[in-house]
Amino acid sequence: MYKIIVLGAGLVGGPIAIDLTKDLDFEISIADINEQSLMKATLNQHIKAIQKDLSHPDEVTELVKNYDYVINAVPGFMGFQTLKAIIAAGKSAIDIAFFPEDFFLLDDFAKEKGVTIISDMGVAPGMSNVLIGYADMMLDKTEKAIIYVGGLPKIRVLPFEYKAVFSPADVIEEYTRPARIVENGKIIVREALSEPEFLTFPKIGTLEAFNSDGLRSLIQTIKAPNMVEKTLRYPGHIEKMKFLREIGLFNKEKIEIKNQKISPLDIISELLFPKWKLEKGDEDITIMQIIVEGMEKGKKTTYFWDLYDQFDNITHTHSMARTTGYTATSALRMIIKGLYNKPGISAPEFIGKDTECVKFILNSLAERGIIYCERKIIAE
């Protein structure tokens, strides 16, 4: 019997815990400070709820000592310190906190502790990295990698035509954090929401794409001269977010209003987040296209992977929770089965270098109805 604990009972952490209960040899616990989130996650009687403030690293280390494996699903702002606390306890883990810090800074510490950590193992980053790593292995030379990805409400409702399918604070980061891309072999920084383009997708229609800072570890690990990630939204969303940003409503610095100091971001968060909240019955979709171009056996070759996933009406699980969370649970099962045991911190693209691991994860996701459709085009 393997004892597994999920840290964080939010939109993704709860479905992760529920999915893990499908394995009869897993004993599952979930920890969070929010009692309501815990109650929702543990309606499944096979999950133990632990109400805990996870913002204290020492307490996290003490908590996870009693478990064999950990999944780190806390919000991004506390993800790095939480992962460090997990490593301090000597536990292997899957990390989907998507924190802004460089997770490779913990590589030596993880190796010292002899643990296996896979960070950023969600949908994007996550499966996008896995498949780019896989294509990079197949190609003799990788020339370009493009990721288009978005989580969207199935029903479009004005004014935003958007619902936050993960932490709203992390969504705003996509609109403010400068986007790092690779262009002609150099790392270039572009403004978030920049270089819009329109693309048409089956089942959805036209979406707009903009630069976002989603390449993360790929910048360090994949030697392709051109790489970019772009976020997908319904047309018109970019201009709305640019307007809010340009008038300063995403600023974190506090200003004085009627003798009180408060940040514009705190104000807009109070106004935006209720409108972005996924309500009961709200359905979402996840769409992603990965394009990797290069040379293979002397011919120009392009690999494509397309994902379209939607809210599961049977389990009432949101698509973003499915595509992110089930990638994490598949990776954990991969580690437990002994298919991957590299000590230290691994980026998801490292998994892509092992064909057996890629097949295992794709098959595990397919069993849960998450299908990555692969195409390969060879120029004549």
Question: pLDDT, tens digit, for every residue of 76-124?
Answer: 889 999 999 999 999 999 999 999 899 999 999 999 999 999 999 999 9
Question: pLDDT, tens digit, for every residue of 193-212?
Answer: 999 999 999 999 999 999 99
Phi and psi angles of residue 201, each rounded to the nearest 5 degrees, phi first: -125, 145
Across the range 371-377, mean pLDDT stands at 97
d(CA 325, CA 313): 17
Res. 300: pLDDT tops 70: yes
Res. 40: pLDDT tops 90: no
Q: Element (H or E) spanning 232, and its range?
A: strand 226-233
State the pLDDT at residue 167: 67
The whole-chain average pLDDT of the chain stands at: 94
Question: pLDDT, tens digit, for every residue of 50-69?
Answer: 999 999 999 999 999 999 99
- pLDDT category, 235, cuts 50, 70, 90? very high
Q: What percent of the chain has pLDDT over 90?
A: 83
Q: Which two tokens stand for residue 333?
A: 């099962």
Question: pLDDT, tens digit, for every residue of 246-274?
Answer: 999 999 899 988 899 999 988 888 888 88
State the pLDDT at residue 73: 97
Res. 26: pLDDT tops 80: yes
Q: Which two tokens stand for residue 150?
A: 């978005």
> Beta strand 260-262 with 2-7: parallel, antiparallel or unpaired?
unpaired
Q: Give CB contacts under 8 A, 24+ apart, made by 359-363.
A: 360/330, 360/333, 360/334, 361/127, 361/130, 361/327, 361/330, 361/331, 361/334
- Quote the pTM value: 0.93
State the pLDDT at residue 166: 66
Q: How many residues does the chain have?
A: 380
Taking a C-beta distance cutoff of 8 angstroms, is the pair 138, 291 a contact?
A: no
Question: pLDDT, tens digit, for every residue of 272-283?
Answer: 888 888 887 889
Lowest-pLDDT range, 47-56, 157-166, 229-238, 283-292?
157-166
CA distances from 242 to 29, 193, 256, 263 (A): 41, 7, 24, 18
Across the range 352-361, mean pLDDT stands at 98
Domain residue extents for the chain: 2-122+320-370, 127-310
Res. 44: pLDDT tops 90: no
**In the CATH hierarchy, which fold is given to the domain comprising 2-122+320-370?**
Rossmann fold (3.40.50)
State the pLDDT at residue 42: 85
State the pLDDT at residue 28: 97
Cβ-proximal residues to 276 (8 Å cutoff; 6+ apart), any chain: 160, 162, 163, 164, 168, 171
Q: What percent of the chain has pLDDT over 70?
A: 99
Question: pLDDT, tens digit, for every residue of 302-315?
Answer: 999 999 999 999 98
Q: Where does 127-310 sit in CATH, by number?
A: 3.30.360.10
Res. 36: pLDDT tops 80: yes
Res. 25: pLDDT tops 70: yes
